[in-house]
Structure 1
Amino acid sequence: MPSKRTSVSHSTPAQLGANSWGELRRRSSDIPWVLTGGFLGTLARYFLGFLGEPLWVLVAINSVGCLLLGMIFALRRSDRLTASGYALWGTGVMGSFTTFSGVMVLLVAPSAGVLTWLVVLASIALGIALAWLGQRLVGRGTS
């Protein structure tokens, strides 16, 4: 895991502005971290998928992912995680571990009923709450 602090800005790819090509070129050294994290997150997601009913496994994976990503984001924002660390854990691991497309597939499946819709809506609310909680848990020790 990268531990060296850098002077790289706190921006995530979604926050990059119109002049993002220079920033992307500068961060190309993070690609191996994203790939490694993607591999690890994908493996975890794949094996956890065997543990139960797809809808409930998906809710559990996305809920845990929201909590962890909230914590990872807060660590990055407070400078306790490097840009490379965020690339590994945030973009790589959490990006491949959680899913939005899996939720959509469940919603359009012929077997999707009212319960499926209610669970998905509840999991969105839960995800928001857990992402907030993750940031607060990490943020306790910061000014």
Structure 2
Amino acid sequence: MHPFAVAMGGAVGTLLRLLLTTGGGGGGGWDLRISVINVVGAFLLGVLARIPVRPQVRSLLGSGVLGSLTSFSALSIALADATPGYAVALGLLTSIVLGVAAAAVGMWLGRFLTSRAEAA
């Protein structure tokens, strides 16, 4: 892991999260934007896990940008503030179940793109 790359990526990911979740929506309780960010981030992490990139790039994008953009802590706070049934049904379902599915699709896509690039 490359600490400087993680730190720089973390700053970018945190800024992106702030821009994507500030204003509108929210208002206490579960926020769809948090789950969408987490699912899209899981997909991108899946792709990144299966494509050949330099270790510095993986640290910058994976642990840095996507690690700070997607956040279980943000999900936890939103779910703790929501009605329990609503929180479980929507928050956990979308962020965890869809996140795992998105990561699997991303990993498949990354493998597919890598095999296509190697065949060319």
Normalising by structure 1, what TM-score? 0.71
Residue number in structure 2 paired with 1:31? 3
Within 1, Cα distance between the matches of 2:54 and 2:42? 20
Q: Where does structure 2 lack aligned partners over 5 or more consecutive residues? A: none
Greater relative contact order, per chain length (Cα 8 Å cut-off, separation 6+)? 2
Q: Which runs of 5+ in 1 are unaligned?
A: 1-26
TM-score, normalised on structure 2?
A: 0.83
| Structure with bigger gyration radius | 1
AA in 1 matched with 2:38? N
Q: Could you tell me which residue of structure 2 aligns to residue 68 of structure 1?
A: 44
User: RMSD of aligned C-alpha atoms?
Assistant: 1.6
Say if 1:71 and 1:137, in contact at 8 Å, map to a contact too. yes
Count the aligned residue pairs. 110
Counterpart code for 1:66? A
- Could you tell me how far apart the structure 2 residues matched to 1:83 and 1:46 are? 27
Identical residues among aligned pairs (%): 31
2-side partners of 1:41 and 1:105: how far apart? 18
Matched, 1:122 2:93: yes
Q: Tell me how far apart the structure 1 counterparts of residues 35 and 103 of structure 2 sit (CA, whole Å).
A: 14
The alpha-carbon deviation at position 103 of structure 1 amounts to 1.5
